[in-house]
Structure 1
């Protein structure tokens, strides 16, 4: 399943996307911090970014229990779990996968260590074990393929061949695949063949951002959120 984009001699122009959600989310593993953002160029992840849903106080979950510190927690406890995930741009759905389970969440170091040790085994199991439920859109402007990953089991609402527009509902945020707490992973790549795909840079349009450190909100016409920044799409009144 290989649909390669034309080779570029000059550095690629970042794909201009809209944040694929409503409400507030915190940016993690941002390419604004480092490249490759997730520590690897494998699987087209060079410029990938993660977003974790938060509440008005910036919390990913409103409650804690013994599992927060020593074990695991149900994914339903987290703010982002079940939130709508939207198309970040217009295009055509070229891959849609559902049916992978949502795992328990892990915030404690005691539970994260054995999970990390199982990473190699999950890689051997294939894309489903890593990406979980996911949707890939071939962007209408030829800017590549946008993948939205770790979606909620049973929530994918689009099919291969379907044309989508910016803001269309794709699925819900979940905790499937290689995920330690509910979040959405977004990346743009130049190829559907993950063994050959190169990650492409992205920028997001029209968002409000609260940088780390307690400073007030700023409006950005376009950019890439920094590590730990809380973001919210900004849609001016017309």
Structure 2
């Protein structure tokens, strides 16, 4: 079974960690992530934010990134199954190695799905559950039980949960509970974009 999706955004977004390149795309099938994909908002030059020498050594405010607060929209017609909000949009870590970020990672892992997904919305469509993760705190516009159609805004791009810079993580699962869910393959109208593709929607 493969679920067909429209892109959950408008604007210019860079594809990362795509299942077109490898499965599991994020290195694990845990939490239903096997076929998940990441989209990072970028400017016309393909950059998420200017990079300076200081960027390599200290966290950066998420507001510095072009896509922080960009609209995230429903990629399917369905029903909102779960919503989680209230996680902070933490600093972005682009240094090598990201020592500061690594120091906080253990805490997120201990919290399980909420710590990893951050602020998120899960939509149900024909028995498949689509999670949209790392949303900006306070931006979620939908509630459980609400019907949505493609293009309806569900929130905005943030940097909550397991996120090194503002981006959108999308995954499809066979259960609303990522702790027990199996991943479901995804497809977009123009196919499954590989890493490095810039989508203009």
2:199 is matched with 231
The question of 1:129 aligning with 2:115 is answered yes
In structure 1, what is the Cα distance between the partners aligned to 2:84 and 2:198?
29
Name the CA shift for 1:78/1:70 in 2 (closer, same or farther; >3 Å): same
Name the CA shift for 1:114/1:77 in 2 (closer, same or farther; >3 Å): closer
Say if 2:31 and 2:113, in contact at 8 Å, map to a contact too.
no
Point out where structure 2 has 5 or more consecutive residues left out of the alignment.
Answer: none
The question of 1:57 aligning with 2:45 is answered yes
In structure 1, what is the Cα distance between the partners aligned to 2:73 and 2:116?
21
Which of these two proteins has the greater Rg computed from alpha carbons? 1
In structure 1, what is the Cα distance between the partners aligned to 2:54 and 2:104?
20
The CA deviation at 1:232 is 1.6
Q: For this pair of structures, how many residues does the alignment match?
A: 201
Point out where structure 1 has 5 or more consecutive residues left out of the alignment.
Answer: 1-11, 206-221, 234-238
In structure 1, what is the Cα distance between the partners aligned to 2:170 and 2:64?
22
The question of 1:22 aligning with 2:10 is answered yes
Q: Which has the higher contact order (CA 8 A, sep 6+)?
A: 2
TM-score under structure 2 length normalisation? 0.95
The partner residue of 1:155 within 139, 147, 154 is 139
The CA deviation at 1:227 is 0.8
Say if 2:141 and 2:153, in contact at 8 Å, map to a contact too.
yes
1:213 is matched with none
Cα deviation digits, residues 126-184 of structure 1 (max 9, x gap): 32211110000001x33x10000000010000000000000000000000011100000
SS of 1:92's partner is strand
Matches within 5 A, 1:1-238: 12=1, 14-61=2-49, 63-110=50-97, 112-116=98-102, 118-139=104-125, 141-142=126-127, 144-205=128-189, 222-233=190-201
1:215 is matched with none
Say if 2:21 and 2:195, in contact at 8 Å, map to a contact too.
yes
In structure 2, what is the Cα distance between the partners aligned to 1:129 and 1:80?
22
